[in-house]
Structure formats: structure tokens, C-alpha cells
A and B are shown apart, each in its own frame.
Chain A
């Protein structure tokens, strides 16, 4: 797995900090946490160089377990470790973590309500050249359907650090989805992540874009473009997909003529679905979902793939305009 040096051009950089992949921040934060928290153990399935758990492995070899290419066993072992009071972080690519070991996650993590942190990297299409077999576009749907599971997608590296620290203290099953590609910093410097609390950059009077992961940066760019055309557009980072911040979402719905959801995931079962489910039951407003439209990914560089799948600011703008015109 080669280092990704790509910058994604369609993602605005709002600070002077250089873009950083959320998986890279995970590796750094885990290493730091490892020094402070002797109860933290880490498991990986032969991808520690890519998931960045390798840093922890080098520093704390006795608390790192490479389980080989055996994701089901990795999840079960993590559950066992948690039952002796350890706080296991189990990592591999999102496709394998959620798909290969789903029944194990269901039984020994969620049903048994064990304190396991599943932190998967390589979520979404920005995995790039490796193509569809390695691009998790259904992982959030798989995890969101499970009782007791918390599902989180940080928007940038700073939020990732905050998320990892938070979930290390939280007791219960968590799925954190991280990315391979570098992403710009979008969250304000004083921002602190809280489970189940969305971050409202601004509330729009016409349109609000509820986004997750790298789509937050793209949503912000779209909102700027729409503002220039006189369409008052808000942006919300819904980094916790489950439990959904219903209070914020209700406020958002009340203020919206149209809600756009934007995610690097299938429009089936992810953030878009979660927002539709809540809004349609509680304060029906039109919702348009930007995401992968019930298809597999393909090879290409991340920027190309975002365009190919319509995950761009331009596409959001187009969708807003055509929806408001109706």
C-alpha cells in the first residue's frame, strides 16, 4: 500500500495547516494514548503499516497483537481482551473490518456490549487506485444497523485526535471510520468532539448541508458558492452518525427549505438515510442525498473518483439549484 501524496483539489484548505489523512492522525494519537493508558491494547490484521497502528506496535510490542489476515478472529479476540478490562482498538480496512467480521461484531461486540473500539481506515472511494474491492461504501450501513453501536466519521485530522481520545474513555462498542487520503483541516481550533453532538458551522435560512468525513470540506466550499448566488446555505458536520444528534437536526430541519446530505458512502443506509428517517418522521422537509448511488467504486486517483461519483462542490450546487427551482 503506497503512501498517498495526493491532495484533493476540491477540498478547501481553511487553515495554514497542511492536509493530513485521518488515518495518520490515528496512528499518532494512538501512540500518544499508549503511553498514558496501559489498559489500551491494539489489534490489526496484517495492515498495520496502512492503518498506522504500526507506530503503537513499535512502541508497545507487548500490547500489540497482529492477528494475521483473520478479521473474524481479530474481532473475537478484541472482545475477549475487553472482557478482562483492556480497551482494545482493532483496526484494518473498513471493508474487511465491517464486512468480513459482521456477525462477530454483532454477537461478541454489540450483543455482548463489550468495550471494543473498531477503528477502520480506508473508508470510501478515496482509497483510490486499489479499486472497488477495497473501497468500503456500505460499512456505515452495516454498523448503524447494530444495536449498542456508536458510529463516528471525523472530518479532519484534528477531529480524529479528539474522537480517538473520546472513545478511549467511552465504555461500549464504537465504530470509527477513517480515510486514506489527506484531508484539509476544517474544524475550528477550539473545537472538541463529543459523541452524538453535531457541529453547526452556520445555520442556513434556505439550505443546509449535513455532511460527514471529507465531504464536510466539500460542503463548505459548496456553501460559499451558493452564498454568492444569494442562497443562504448552512453546513453541519454530523460526525456521529449514530446516535444521531436529533436535537440539532430538528433545528436544522426547521430552518431549511431543503436539506442536502453529503457522504462518501452509499446513499443507502448511511448518513443520508439516517437524516431522511429522522426528518420524515419528525419535521418533513425535502432531502437530497449526495453520495455513492447504489454502485461499486472503481480504480482511479481520489480526485478523479470524487468527480466521477459526483462528490463535488459543483455537484452539490447543481443539486441545490435544480431542487429549489422545482
Chain B
């Protein structure tokens, strides 16, 4: 049994290296699968890597460890990001990423907790993760379990009414063992979030719902680490990190391109993308 990792990596350069590898795993599995969500997997990569490798306690050999920190990818379409992190962490052999989206693969198109231990709850229908995160946080608090819960949402996802039901509940129950993240890449499927259904002023909305709100550049590893530490120190209310990100981040020809929300790279694009990431 391996020892549970908690906050193993605090060195910014090292975390950036992990993020680079994670981006390459993402592109590799998407290219092999031939379909899937590229843009949103890349935009949330830096924050997710920081959460997993600098903050979370977990044991890939014991995915149900009682005091593990919990991670919920509420924007389930970014599953390749979660799988890349789990592969990097050692939950399953790296070759498994080649099975993404295949029949009976543990790597279903959207995260399935019954197919892959280590995934806390199945997601894919947007707007639901924060409620589940609240429930976990409440359960942990009842048990005086020190574990924390992390939940990443898309910005378009926050158009779902349930997100605001959950935002209300978290503040009402003073849930402070929870840190939510909004991956604010300003794009959704049909276009810019602002054009489809504006969510601004996003900071003020969360604040009005009773949250401690932290605005950061979601690709600046130092800012991310600072925000995660700040969130951990806020007591008596929930914290949300609004991470300003770029959809498709790390690959110039995917960046800020609404079309690359749900398209996988071609083999040629993959080769070019990997070069860019390695040189970046």
C-alpha cells in the first residue's frame, strides 16, 4: 500500500511540468478516441493539476480512503483532464488512456464512478456537481473528517439553476470544507457565454450568494496556489475561485476557438500541438 499523497508537489516549476504532461495525455487520448472535448479539458488543466498535486490527499491504491480529499468534475465533458491526472497519479496504467470512449472502458465519455474507482460521482449532465460536493462536505463535517471537497464547474454551466440552489445551500450551511472553481473561459458550445446567456457580474453574483470569491488568472500557477491556500483559510463560508482561463490553453490553434469545444485533434494537429506544449 502506497502512502497517501497530500500536497506532495509545491514547487511551481514542477507543477507546471505536470500540467504540461497532463495536457499531452489529454491530447493523446482525444486523438486516439477521435472525439471528445478538447477546449474545456485544456482550460481547466492548470487549476486541476494544482488541486490534485499540491493540495489533495489521496491514495491511488486505496481510492476509498476515508479521509481522502474529494474532487468533483462537475463539467464532466472535461473527462480527459480528469483521466490524464488520474493516469499521472497512478490510478491506472498509462496505456489505458488509449481506451477512452470505447465499449467497457473505465474511461467513459463522461466520468462514471461505477467504471473507475477514484471518481467520486458520475457527472456529464451539467449543473449537478456542486450539490453533490455540498452533500459530501456536510457528511464529512458530521463525521469530523478533516477532508476537503473540490468542485470544478464551467462558466456556461453556471447558467443552470441548480448551481444557484447549491450556492445558496453552501452559504446557508456555512460549508467551509469546500472549494469551488469556475473555469471562466468565456466560451460555451454555441458561442461566447456573454452572447448565449450572460452570467456577469460573476464575482458579484457569488458574493451576493454569501461566498468568499477569489479572482485569479487560471493559468498562473503561483496565483492558483495562493488562491487555494486562501480558500482553505476562510472559515464560516464557502469559497469559490473564479479562474480566468483560455479555452484550448496551450495549443495556439485551439485557443479561444469555440469550434474546438467538442472536437478531437487530428493526428497532424496532435503532432503540432505536442511540439508547442513541449516548447511552451
Contact = CB atoms under 8 A, between A and B. Distances in A.
Nearest to A114: B121
A77 B145 contact: no
B125 A103 contact: yes
Interface residues of B, number: 35
A41 B142 contact: yes
B162 A72 contact: yes
Main secondary structure on A side of the interface with B:
helix
A76 interface: yes
Contacts of B138: 65, 77, 80-81
Q: Is the interface of B mostly helix, strand, loop or mixed?
A: helix
Contacts of B122: 107-108, 111-112
A85 interface: yes
A76 B142 contact: no
Interface string A66-101: 011010111111111111111010000000000000
Contacts, number: 113
A84 B132 contact: no
Interface stretch (B164-172, B184-192, B223-231): B164-172
Interface stretch (B112-120, B204-212, B262-270): B112-120
A108 B128 CA distance: 8
Contacts of B121: 79-80, 83, 108, 112, 114
Contacts of B161: 72
A272 B172 CA distance: 43
B128 A76 contact: yes
B136 A84 contact: yes
B29 interface: no
A113 interface: yes
Given A108-B122, A114-B121, A77 B128 contact: no
A88 B132 CA distance: 13
Contact of A111 (B112, B134, B168): B112
Q: Which of B122, B131, B137, B143 has the most CB of A within 10 A?
A: B131
B63 interface: no
A39 to B, nearest CB: 9
Q: Among A65, A83, A114, find the residue whose CB has the most chain B CB atoms closer than 10 A.
A: A83
A80 B142 contact: no
6 contacts: A68-B172, A73-B166, A74-B131, A76-B162, A77-B135, A79-B131
